[in-house]
Amino acid sequence: MASRRKNVTRAEESKDEKQEIQTIPRPNISRVKNKQIRSELYRKMKAEKRKEKLKEKKREKQEAEAMGEEAPPKKVPKTIESMRVFDETMVNTQDEEVMKDESQDEMSSYFNRKTTPKILLTTTDRPTTRTRKLCKELKKVIPNIEIYKRRALDLKKVIPQALAKDFTDILVINEDRKEPNGLVISHLPDGPTAHFKMSSVRLTTDIKKLGRVTDHHPEVMLNNFNTRLGHTVGRLLASLFPHDPEFQGRRVATFHNQRDFIFFRHHRYEFRNSKKVGLRELGPRFTLKLRSLQKGTFDSKYGEYEWIHKRHEMDTSRRKFFL
Amino acid sequence: MAAPMYNVFVGAETGLLKGITLKKSQWNNLNAIASADREKEICAMCWDNTDESKVCFGLKNRQVLVYDVDAQSVEDEIHTFDGGSGKFRALAKVEGKYLTAVESGLVKLWDDDEDKNSIEIEAGKDLFCMEQNPQKSHIIGTGGKENELKLWDLQRHSEPIFKAKNVKNDWLNLRVPVWVMGVQFLPGSDKVVTSTGHHQVRVYDPQSSQRRPVLDIEVDEYPLTAISLRYDQDNQVLVGNTQGKMALVDLRNGKVMQVYKGFAGGIRDIKCHPSKPLVASCGLDRHIRIHDIDSREMVNKLYLKSRLNCLLFSSREGENATVNKSEVQKEADVESGIESEDEDVWENLELVKTKTVKKKEKEIVVKEDKVDRKRKKKKKSDKPKEVPMIAKKRK
């Protein structure tokens, strides 16, 4: 009761003082002990705030219209991507040294059209239904892929045999608790090995309104791989797909990087007119996050790492990303 | 414009030699980007002479080029050193002649005159490192995968002067594998420190009777690809592994003292500054980092665009270092100031060192009442307790 009175007196005072002072600190609602009253006061406060905000917006719009061309530019809201910490490893497309480096790196034989991708897909030993289904779906997404059963073989022993059979990449889907949760891409002759964490896996059975997949070579879209590390990972992913996409198939596989998460989507697109596109989702959907990039083929114990995600050192800022 | 003074020289996998000025945190490519080629990857670097006026760097295609620091250009003369197979593992200069070590195990001291027999040493296959003793330039140490540490004398090159023995079988009675990745000679004595691919740091003493390591420490769980002695303090060594962990190991305690943060990828080379407590490290994450050894602070970090293979830390001070010198002088003054203060404190305390001395001195110096004497006694009894504490704080 006393607090209620306090609030009332404060409101009265504020009315008097409004003429003199425009902004007065609002009463502290959290001091009210009664939940009903407190929640009512909160709702009222929120409604007031919304009203004020709408008024402000209307006023600004009117002013902008009145000013015409002199109007100040539209305010852009701050997002985490726009506030991203400056990364000196961002690649400038005209950078000579980076271009030279990339023209001679491990994936260059694909980009120079000297090798065509031939991929070996396998899983952990004794995979469950979901992983096996994912493998079959990936077989439809990526052309020229072969699935092999793992049967408790060491990857280090698989690699020389794969080299002998002219494979260019090995994909291993790691499984834990009956769900696929990891992906290892090892580019073969002596290429880098990327270890990803896989999450949010949605198989074709989980997605509604799917389209049918065809045999055409897909287009590959790699969005937002801007840093040097991102470039390497982007090239590694691009080298899984054949060189020439068959545009008549209108099939696209997208790897979209945002905030260090790589979103994989598989669509069929149709341009209704030059501005509108219709998309129909095909195939699986999953999210990848890079855990480590190792130089050389798979050798987690003795291999040298180009990049490792160290959570305590690297995840200190919400606005710092590496890919 | 004044010529930039390079403090650090780094060799990259693309074949580019980079010079870094620490004061301005700037770096430059010292050879042309157009000539950058994977086949000309810089595998090993060394100073041409103790003057540090020239940098010799060995390429993957077995050429050795020399960069003149003062003239700021790469010399035209290209030396090619064939013999053995594989790339250079180490490069050194002995009395103006090149000493090369290659992967297949051939260590050769090349002579200008082809008539003279250049000294060849077969150090076993899968050689990973070769290091020259800075005090005795004719003694070298070699090691590799399943190739134990061997010390050779260039003057008597038929047999090693010291051949290390593998440690005893482990707790499962299995042979401990051998993989020497780095060798360093400790100054002042004949001892040798090695870092292995099985994350061990070992100290060998050729003068002792045992051929097994005198000290064997395990550091983390990944291969130690880089090792460097600390020059301003004895018995400390910095090691770096493939996962980007750099640690300071004390060889007297046999413990890992500190770990340095900030690395994202494997460390390929570490070099300490010859006189200051700074350490430069480069690796596969395309950055070079300079840390202060004692405070673990990252003093400098530069992005160098290519994967880095090896580096050299120059002890030269350039024009830009005048500021540094005055700072050093100021520090010296402050230190001497502190020392003089300490001396004053010590002088005051000297009167109070031991009770017997106190009493004598008291009798000589102090002429006061018994009460005061008692009080002073108490104080003086307190003071000796204080003395060790102050000493500790000083450290």
Tell me what pLDDT residue B341 has.
Answer: 58
Question: Which residue in chain B has the smallest CA separation from A88?
Answer: B303
Provide the percentage of residues in chain A whose pLDDT is more than 90: 83
pTM comes to 0.80
A:B CB pairs within 8 Å: 65
Mutation pick from B17, B29, B30, B38 vs chain A, by most beta carbons of A within 10 Å, is B38
Q: Does B33 touch chain A (CB under 8 A)?
A: yes
Question: Which residue in chain A has the smallest CA separation from B31?
Answer: A97
For residue B286, list chain A residues with Cβ-Cβ distance below 8 A: 89, 228
Cβ–Cβ gap A308/B33 under 8 Å: no
Closest CA to A181 of A308, A310, A287: A287
Tell me what pLDDT residue B335 has.
Answer: 46
Question: Which residue in chain A has the smallest CA separation from B224?
Answer: A302
Torsion angle of C-alpha atoms B346, B348, B350, B351, degrees rounded to 10 = -170
**Distance separating alpha carbons of residues B92 and B123, to the nearest angstrom:** 16
Each as own residue / partner, the long-range contacts of residues B122-125 (CB below 8 Å, 24 or more positions apart, any chain) are B123/B147, B123/B150, B123/B152, B124/B150
Cβ–Cβ gap A306/B284 under 8 Å: yes
- Strand duo A145-147 + A119-123: pairing: parallel
CB B129 within 8 A of CB B116: no
Tell me what pLDDT residue B115 has.
Answer: 57
- C-alpha separations of B160 from B91, B109, B182, B201 in Å: 19, 16, 18, 22
Q: Does B285 touch chain A (CB under 8 A)?
A: yes
Mutation pick from A100, A300, A315 vs chain B, by most beta carbons of B within 10 Å, is A100
Cβ–Cβ gap B266/A98 under 8 Å: no
Tell me what pLDDT residue B308 has.
Answer: 95
Tell me what pLDDT residue B330 has.
Answer: 45
- Across residues A47-68, what is the average pLDDT? 91
Amino acid at B149: L
Cβ–Cβ gap A95/B197 under 8 Å: no
Closest CA to A198 of A106, A288, A306: A288
In sequence order, the 6+-apart residues with CB closer than 8 A to the CB of B88 are B43, B44, B58, B59, B60, B62, B100, B101, B102
Tell me what pLDDT residue A53 has.
Answer: 96
Strand order across the beta sheet in which B224-229 lies? B224-229, B236-241, B246-250, B255-260
B37, B38, B264 ranked by CB distance to A308: nearest: B264
For residue B264, list chain A residues with Cβ-Cβ distance below 8 A: 307-308, 310, 314, 322
In angstroms, what separates the C-alpha of B316 from chain A's closest C-alpha? 28
CB B125 within 8 A of CB B178: no
Mutation pick from B224, B242, B298, B302 vs chain A, by most beta carbons of A within 10 Å, is B242
Question: Which tokens go with A173?
Answer: 């889907």
Closest CA to A265 of A241, A278, A283: A283
B284, B286, B305 ranked by CB distance to A304: nearest: B284
Span B266-316, pLDDT tens digits: 999 999 998 899 999 999 999 999 999 999 999 999 999 999 999 999 988
Question: Which residue in chain B has the smallest CA separation from A304?
Answer: B242
Contact map slice: B 123-152 vs A, CB within 8 A: none
In angstroms, what separates the C-alpha of A140 from chain B's closest C-alpha? 35
- Strand duo A169-176 + A193-202: pairing: unpaired
Tell me what pLDDT residue B269 has.
Answer: 95
**Distance separating alpha carbons of residues B17 and B32, to the nearest angstrom:** 9
3-class SS at A26? Answer: coil
CB B125 within 8 A of CB B139: no
Mutation pick from A304, A309, A312, A315 vs chain B, by most beta carbons of B within 10 Å, is A304
Q: Does B197 touch chain A (CB under 8 A)?
A: yes
Question: Which tokens go with B314?
Answer: 């120059």
Cβ–Cβ gap A295/B266 under 8 Å: yes
The pLDDT-based confidence of A119 (bands split at 50, 70, 90) is very high
**Distance separating alpha carbons of residues B43 and B311, to the nearest angstrom:** 10
Tell me the pLDDT of chain A averaged across its residues. Answer: 91
A88, A98, A306 ranked by CB distance to B285: nearest: A306
B197, B261, B265 ranked by CB distance to A305: nearest: B265
Question: Which residue in chain A has the smallest CA separation from B282?
Answer: A306
A100, A301, A313 ranked by CB distance to B33: nearest: A100
Question: Which residue in chain A has the smallest CA separation from B223?
Answer: A302
Provide the percentage of residues in chain A whose pLDDT is more than 70: 93
Span A249-278, pLDDT tens digits: 999 999 999 999 999 999 999 999 999 999
A100, A302, A306 ranked by CB distance to B223: nearest: A302
Cβ–Cβ gap A97/B286 under 8 Å: no
Cβ–Cβ gap B305/A95 under 8 Å: yes
Question: Which tokens go with A105?
Answer: 């790196």
For residue B25, list chain A residues with Cβ-Cβ distance below 8 A: none
Tell me what pLDDT residue A98 has.
Answer: 92
Closest CA to A211 of A130, A276, A270: A270
Q: How do the pLDDT tens digits run along chain B, 395 residues long?
A: 456 788 899 999 999 999 999 989 999 999 888 888 899 999 999 998 888 889 999 999 999 999 998 888 888 888 888 888 899 999 999 888 899 999 999 999 888 766 566 788 898 889 999 999 989 888 999 999 999 999 999 888 788 999 999 999 999 999 999 999 999 999 988 899 999 999 999 999 999 999 999 999 999 999 999 999 999 888 999 999 999 999 999 999 999 999 999 999 999 999 999 889 999 999 999 999 999 999 999 999 999 999 999 999 998 875 444 334 444 444 444 444 445 556 666 666 655 555 555 555 555 544 545 555 555 555 544 444 443 443 444 54
Cβ–Cβ gap B284/A96 under 8 Å: no
In angstroms, what separates the C-alpha of A125 from chain B's closest C-alpha? 26
Tell me what pLDDT residue B359 has.
Answer: 52
- Across residues A95-108, what is the average pLDDT? 92
A89, A228, A304 ranked by CB distance to B242: nearest: A304
Q: Does B266 touch chain A (CB under 8 A)?
A: yes
Cβ–Cβ gap B33/A97 under 8 Å: yes
Cβ–Cβ gap B286/A228 under 8 Å: yes
Cβ–Cβ gap A304/B286 under 8 Å: no
Question: Which residue in chain B has the smallest CA separation from A307?
Answer: B265
Cβ–Cβ gap B285/A302 under 8 Å: no
In A, what residues contact B, Cβ < 8 A?
88-89, 95-98, 100-101, 104, 228, 295, 301-308, 310, 313-314, 322
For residue B268, list chain A residues with Cβ-Cβ distance below 8 A: 304
Least confident of A10-14, A134-138, A228-232, A296-300: A10-14
